[in-house]
């Protein structure tokens, strides 16, 4: 439990909850595979991440999330802690293979029941559940049939969305279809550093198109079954700048921006893929079927913007398809997080303005922002002033954009607690709450105390 009299770091001048307005949504974000553990419990099927970590041993030192924070068993205590920290909104994802172990067909009742309990436990504590349908844990059985590269994924995904919407729609009012398609398609099917570990440009293009179709189709199914609910989807984005003031770097920056920030967003808004900036993308049309142009768009109630950093881009003759490369922040002498990402608060401000400029975007929620820093336990406490400062500085930029008229109406910290950070394992700790993965002890970090006192204002 959080102690009431813990001395929290001071607020920076001008950063008061009141300034964001009464309706602004505050919360924390998580994802099933990163926190649940219980990877084989109660009939759950394997996901591509279970295969990637346990069978293929593709993560450093054979690490996996078989147990991770054990949220599957410990969620009532974690929700108590969340409530004691005054956190009113909780974003989590549903694990597709927990609900449909084979991805399609027979349903795992115990998996469905688990999310009933989780949702009910949120509601009974006055915490609003925000549900992501897909945060990267595709059922392994579907990957054996091609996964995101097989167009049947649109059918498989639709079946899963229908099931979840019918089961939980009476209690869940905020839905997100996909988490960061650029991340799971890019890292999973082109770079091969995330599950399923494929490295193939055609696989990348096919997966891109099918994820785009699922993104919109998922939105349509949710809206049809739950007309009162708020339907969104989330996008990763980084503020992109040319490394040097040279035309070739500027053009390279435009291509990277199109790939990282526009590839999935623009088709959802009815603007199609950014072919003009990346002509190579035209090849995606071989995966089109008649009518796809219309099927790619859906009028979302909100867009989840997820930003952590900025990237500087340089022309590179040798980089296939893009002729551009990122200049690592570590080589630029700038402040870094444990992920090697630059701390650059203005990035979120610029991305908010960018998203806001699309007339098709009705409302923006920051569904992820946060940082990993080297946290250590001393005398039973975790003092993380860097994270407090990071959050305060990024939040000031969110406020700045909001005061300039940007339609940003919520902010969720990534993440509630430390968890399994995908290809990086357990080293990067993003939590407001520290987790000892051996004992499962939780310690609210000073950033957690700060956030909780911030939320308790007014």
The sign one gets for the Cα dihedral 334, 248, 317, 237 is positive
Return the residue of 236, 238, 307, 337 that touches ligand BGC, per CB under 6 A.
Answer: 236
Tell me 190's DSSP state. Answer: I
Question: Can 180 be counted among the known catalytic residues?
Answer: yes
Instruction: Say if residues 316 and 323 touch (Cβ distance below 8 Å).
Output: yes
Determine if 375 is a binding residue for ligand BGC (CB under 6 A). Answer: no
- The pairing of strands 174-178 and 128-134 is parallel
Q: How far is the CB of 324 from ligand BGC (least distance, A)?
A: 21
Q: How far apart are CA 390 and CA 48, in angstroms?
A: 33
Query: Per rule CB under 6 A, is residue 446 in the interface with ligand BGC?
Result: no
> Does residue 115 have a known ligand-binding role?
no
Binding map of ligand BGC across residues 187-226, x = CB under 6 A, - = no contact = ----------------------------------------
Q: Contact letters (x/-) for ligand BGC, 271-310, by CB under 6 A?
A: -----------------------------------x----
Residue among 31 and 281 whose Cβ is closer to ligand BGC: 31
Q: Which residues pair with 237 in a beta bridge?
A: 307
In the bound complex, what is the minimum distance in angstroms from residue 179's beta carbon to ligand BGC? Answer: 5
Q: CB of residue 337 vs ligand BGC: minimum separation in angstroms? A: 10
Annotated binding residue 73: no
Q: Does 119 bind ligand BGC (CB under 6 A)?
A: no
Q: Is 414 annotated as belonging to a binding site?
A: yes
Q: What is the closest distance, in whole angstroms, from the C-beta atom of residue 48 to ligand BGC in the complex?
A: 14
Alpha carbons 427 and 440: distance in angstroms, whole number: 16
Number of continuous H segments (helices) and E segments (strands) in the chain? 15, 13
The residue behind tokens 């990035």 is 347
Q: Which is nearer to ligand BGC, 36 or 180 (CB)?
A: 180
Query: Residue 24 corresponds to which tokens in the numbers above?
Result: 């602004």
Residue 419 in contact with residue 359, Cβ under 8 Å?
no
Give the active site residue among 143, 180, 241, 311.
Answer: 180
Whether 34 has a binding-site annotation, put simply, is yes
CB of 414 to ligand BGC, least distance (A): 5
How many residues line the site for ligand BGC (CB under 6 A)? Answer: 11
Output helix, strand, coil percentages for the chain, rounded to the nearest 5.
40, 15, 40
Selection from 389, 401, 387, 388 nearest residue 346 by Cα: 401
Residue of 51, 249, 311, 368 interacting with ligand BGC (CB under 6 A): 368
Whether 28 and 366 have beta carbons less than 8 Å apart is answered as: no
Phi then psi dihedrals of residue 329, to 5 deg: -60, -35
| Span interacting with ligand BGC, options 176-184, 205-213, 267-275, 286-294, rule CB under 6 A | 176-184
Q: Where are the beta strands (DSSP E) in 243-363?
A: 302-315, 324-326
Q: Is 49 annotated as a binding residue?
A: no
> Judged by CB under 6 A, which stretch of 35-43, 73-81, 177-185, 384-392 contacts ligand BGC?
177-185
Q: Is residue 418 a contact point for ligand BGC (CB under 6 A)?
A: no
- Give the residue, chosen from 148, 189, 204, 414, that forms a contact with ligand BGC under the rule CB under 6 A: 414
Closest alpha carbon to 397 in 419, 369, 358: 369
Q: Note whether 337 binds ligand BGC by CB under 6 A.
A: no
Rounded to a whole number, what is the largest CA-CA distance in the chain? Answer: 64
Task: Find tokens 């500027």 and name the residue.
Answer: 250
Mutual orientation of helices 446-456 and 385-403 as an angle, nearest 10°?
A: 40
Binding-site string for ligand BGC from residue 54 to residue 93, where x marks contact by CB under 6 A and - marks none: ----------------------------------------
Whether the CA torsion 71, 76, 77, 79 is positive or negative: it is positive
* Residue 99 touching ligand BGC (CB under 6 A): no
- Is residue 172 a contact residue for ligand BGC (CB under 6 A)? no
Check binding of 180 to ligand BGC (CB under 6 A): yes
The alpha carbon dihedral of 129, 133, 136, 139 has a sign of positive
> Token pair 């992920």 is at which residue?
339
Nearer to ligand BGC, 47 or 179 (CB): 179
Q: How far is CA 262 from the centre of its chain?
A: 16
Span interacting with ligand BGC, options 150-158, 178-186, 277-285, 316-324, rule CB under 6 A = 178-186
Report which secondary-structure segment, H or E, holds 231: strand 230-242
Catalytic residue among 143, 342, 368, 389: 368
Catalogue the active-site residues: 180, 368
- Annotated binding residues for substrate, written as ranges, equal 34, 135, 179, 308, 414, 421-422
List contacts with ligand BGC (CB under 6 A): 31, 34, 179-180, 183, 236, 306, 368, 414, 421, 430
- Annotated binding residues, written as ranges, equal 34, 135, 179, 308, 414, 421-422
């Amino acid at each position: 439990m959080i102690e009431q009299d813990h001395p929290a770091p001071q607020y920076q001048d001008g950063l008061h909850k009141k300034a964001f307005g009464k309706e602004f949504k505050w919360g924390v974000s998580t994802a099933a595979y990163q926190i649940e553990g219980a990877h084989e419990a109660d009939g759950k099927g394997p996901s591509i991440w279970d295969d990637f970590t346990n069978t293929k041993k593709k993560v450093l030192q054979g690490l996996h999330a078989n147990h991770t924070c054990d949220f599957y068993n410990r969620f009532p205590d974690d929700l108590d802690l969340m409530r004691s920290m005054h956190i009113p909104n909780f974003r989590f994802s549903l694990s597709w293979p927990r609900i449909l172990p084979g991805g399609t067909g027979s349903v795992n009742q115990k998996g469905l029941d688990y999310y009933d309990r989780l949702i009910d436990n949120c509601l009974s504590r006055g915490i609003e559940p925000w549900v992501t349908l897909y945060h990267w844990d595709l059922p392994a059985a579907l990957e054996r049939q091609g996964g995101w590269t097989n167009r049947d994924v649109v059918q498989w995904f639709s079946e899963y969305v229908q099931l979840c919407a019918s089961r939980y729609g009476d209690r869940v009012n905020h839905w997100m279809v996909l988490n960061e398609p650029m991340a799971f398609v890019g890292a999973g099917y082109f770079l091969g550093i995330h599950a399923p570990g494929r490295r193939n440009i055609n696989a990348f293009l096919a997966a891109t198109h099918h994820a785009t179709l699922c993104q919109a189709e998922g939105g349509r199914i949710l809206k049809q079954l739950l007309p009162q609910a708020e339907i969104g989807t989330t996008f990763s984005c980084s503020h992109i700048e040319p490394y040097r003031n040279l035309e070739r770097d500027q053009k390279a920056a435009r291509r990277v921006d199109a790939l990282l920030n526009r590839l999935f967003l623009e088709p959802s808004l009815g603007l199609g893929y950014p072919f003009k900036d990346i002509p190579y993308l035209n090849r995606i049309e071989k995966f089109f079927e008649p009518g796809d142009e219309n099927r790619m768009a859906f009028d979302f109630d909100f867009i989840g913007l997820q930003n952590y950093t900025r990237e500087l881009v340089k022309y590179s003759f040798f980089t296939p398809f893009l002729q551009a490369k990122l200049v690592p922040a570590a080589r630029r002498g700038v402040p870094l997080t444990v992920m090697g990402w630059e701390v650059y608060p203005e990035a979120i401000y610029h991305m908010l303005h960018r998203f806001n400029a699309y007339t098709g975007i009705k409302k923006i929620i920051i569904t992820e922002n946060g940082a990993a820093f080297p946290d250590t336990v001393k005398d039973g406490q975790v003092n993380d002033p860097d994270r407090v400062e990071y959050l305060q500085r990024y939040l000031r930029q969110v406020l700045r954009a909001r005061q300039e008229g940007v339609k940003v109406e919520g902010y969720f910290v990534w993440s509630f607690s430390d968890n399994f950070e995908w290809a990086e394992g357990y080293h990067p700790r993003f939590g407001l709450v520290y987790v000892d993965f051996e004992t499962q002890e939780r310690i609210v970090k000073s950033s957690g105390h700060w956030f909780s006192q911030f939320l308790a204002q007014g």
